[in-house]
Amino acid sequence: MHTTRSAARPLVRAVLSLSLLIAATGTAAAERLWTEGGGDDTITDDTPVTFGAFSKLAERCAPAVVSIETESTRREVMHPFFGDMGGEGLQKGAGSGVIINADGHVLTNNHVVEGARTIKVHLHDGRDLPARLIGRDPATDLALIQIETPKKDLPVAPLGDSDALKIGAWVVAIGNPMGLSHTVTTGIVSAKGRREVRPDGRLRYPDFIQTDASINPGNSGGPLFNLRGEVIGINTAISARGQGIGFAIPVNMIKTVLPQLADDGRVARSWLGVQIAPVTPELAKSLGLAKPEGAAVVQVVPGGPAQGGGLREEDVILGFDGKPIERHDDLPWLASTAGIGRTVAVDVLRDGRRQQLQVKLARMPGEDDQPARLDRQSSGGPAGKEDILGMRVAPMDRALRARLDVEGGAMVLGVDAGSPAERAGMQRGDVIVRCNGQAVRDPGQLGAAVAKTAPGSTVRLLVQREGGRAFVAFTR
């Protein structure tokens, strides 16, 4: 599991790139992937809690919780909650997960299974079974795996409603901390909507449930239950500086991405094309707002959907698709459910007057239209794409270079599961601008630079990702 600081610095001028997540949470998809609710409906918010209640809940819920063991050849960045137990050349990791349907689909964290060559799950009844990766999403740190067994006798945990969860409510965590499978701990919901916690630079949509239920390395990917026996979160982070401070991904956020992980192996994202900042009390006063609310537009990307819809710098977005924007960080996730190609209403304050604009959302630059199933072959792709080091890369046209403010580069359209590039952390949407110190203007130059690198040598890439740059290095 990730670790993070117990208190984040105030966000004075936080600027966020809006990436929009298409949702496919229809009734049919939900029925196929998970059971909605179905916990003990005799328990309400006013039901007296006894110690016997925890025993009954543990007995009912523990069978659906699994311990996860993985093997990988190398992992560039190890997470303290991943539970690294391996040596040089072969590394083992441990985490947790929860079975959500009789077909053996298991919900866990992306960082538990990322880069794994093999995945094995240990069931409460003593069975050890292999599993395969179905889909993963680094932006929410979620992954879906499936147990490989012909039997349909697997225990299942129902998913609850995290929006209905109240601060102070009792919760139970079950997982595999420190290799101790099916450990049960209890606590309360300490807070909701923790968005200042960002344990991973790739995590774009934090909205954590905070709990004091004891969670430790190995709990990563394990469920957080309410007293009805329903999963209301997936444990994913702890505070590195404090005890009794843990964080879980809300299950309602998880439901949004699960169908796409099952169908496509990834989450397709659309693009609004603005950068935003919080509305401070001083800014609200200058704009004539009664209170700080909304998201201030600090940049509109030329040629993007927002510009096409008439958005301008210094607009304040007060509503999106019929929903109010109370805090600036409400907007990314609300927009994430809108969908690629959909036209949405955007309510803005401009020059002291409110107006409504219509914006047609586009696909995020760098994402192709093809499904990203993890068993998809890397060869035989569309014309113009090349496969280099397990990455499908393509040239960038003039408009895309202008949007991303780069002179050239090779856009990563996909990364093969288990490849050196994936284990080093390369992601769809990365733009490779330099390779081993040489400028990269297109995939041809990247291929030439890689060809000069002897097998077993290090490949060093300078990558632009989400407005910043970072080095990624791995062995060819």
Nearest to 414 by CA among 444, 445, 362, 379: 379
Q: How distant, in Å, are the alpha carbons of 22, 47, 268, 301, 306 from that of 341?
A: 10, 46, 12, 17, 13
**Quick check: is 368 catalytic?**
no
**Quick check: is 328 catalytic?**
no
Parallel, antiparallel, or unpaired for β 431-435 and 458-465?
antiparallel
- The answer to whether 208 and 248 have CB atoms below 8 angstroms apart is yes
CA distance 226 to 210: 13
Residues 162, 181, 190, 220: which is the catalytic one? 220
Report CA 228 to chain centroid distance, whole Å: 26
Nearest to 144 by CA among 258, 231, 234, 222: 258
Question: Which parts of 405-474 fold into alpha helices (H)?
Answer: 420-423, 443-451
Residues 79, 105, 111, 182: which is the catalytic one? 111
- The answer to whether 236 and 212 have CB atoms below 8 angstroms apart is no
CA distance 104 to 122: 13
**Quick check: is 122 catalytic?**
no
Q: Which helix (H) or strand (E) holds 257?
A: helix 251-264
Joined together, the tokens standing for residue 356 give: 């409504």
Residue 176 CB partners (closer than 8 Å, separation 6+): 67, 68, 94, 95, 96, 182, 183, 218, 219, 222
Query: HSE (CB half, 13 Å, CA atoms) of 94?
Result: 19
Rounded (5°) CA angle 48-49-53 = 130
Task: Work out whether the CA dihedral 360, 361, 363, 365 comes out positive or negative.
Answer: positive
Residues annotated as catalytic are 111, 141, 220
